[in-house]
Amino acid sequence: MFGDEILKVLITEEEIEKRCAELGEQLTKDYASSGNKLLVVALLRGSVPFLAELIKYIKLPLEMDFMDVSSYAGTESVGDVKIVKDLDTSIKGLDILLVEDIVDTGRTLHVVKRMLYGKGAERVRIVTLLDKPERREVEINADYIGFTVPNEFVVGYGLDYNQKYRNLPFIGVLKPEVYE
């Protein structure tokens, strides 16, 4: 049955919704003072449920765009992030809020942030639903963090295992047999 493969729930739907409301309130305050146009850039596909919940609480005019990037399999190099889908909007002079599902090694965001500044963004701040600091390999910190999680592979609320489990309304850990 749906949900049977879950070993434990780490963060419930209620906790996520409450935290999104808090983050949205904070973001509203911080971006209201900047005066620049706000562009929310979400990284596909994992950030979509978080994005949808979060923007309900950002009480400012904003625009949205999406990027899809993937790491080349088997490579350890920071530069090897491939753009699968680039932005449709020109970002010159804009204030960007980059929305991510989880910061793990930090490689993806390190490269994407550099790309956005390369395209002329005025300022790039990062909001992530989850942070897994124990796994960090490159120095990058999110400006806004939903929850810090231990060094375990998590699924749900956008996060997948082999493209599954993104629609779970909570963050959880899978039973070991799922990987066998």
Residue among 19, 94, 107, 112 that touches ligand 5GP (CB under 6 A) = 107
CA pair distance 32, 3, nearest whole angstrom? 40
Contacts with ligand 5GP in 29-48 (CB under 6 A)?
A: 46
CB of 29 to ligand 5GP, least distance (A): 27
Determine how β-strand 123-131 pairs with β-strand 95-103. Answer: parallel
Our finding on whether 154 is near ligand 5GP (CB under 6 A) is yes
Q: Is 95 a catalytic residue?
A: no
Our finding on whether 51 is near ligand 5GP (CB under 6 A) is no
Of 38, 50, 56, 57, nearest in space to 130 by CA: 50
Our finding on whether 166 is near ligand 5GP (CB under 6 A) is no
Q: Which residues pair with 124 in a beta bridge?
A: 96
Alpha helices in 8-82 (DSSP H): 13-32, 48-54
Residues lying near ligand 5GP in the complex (CB under 6 A): 46, 100-108, 153-155, 159-161
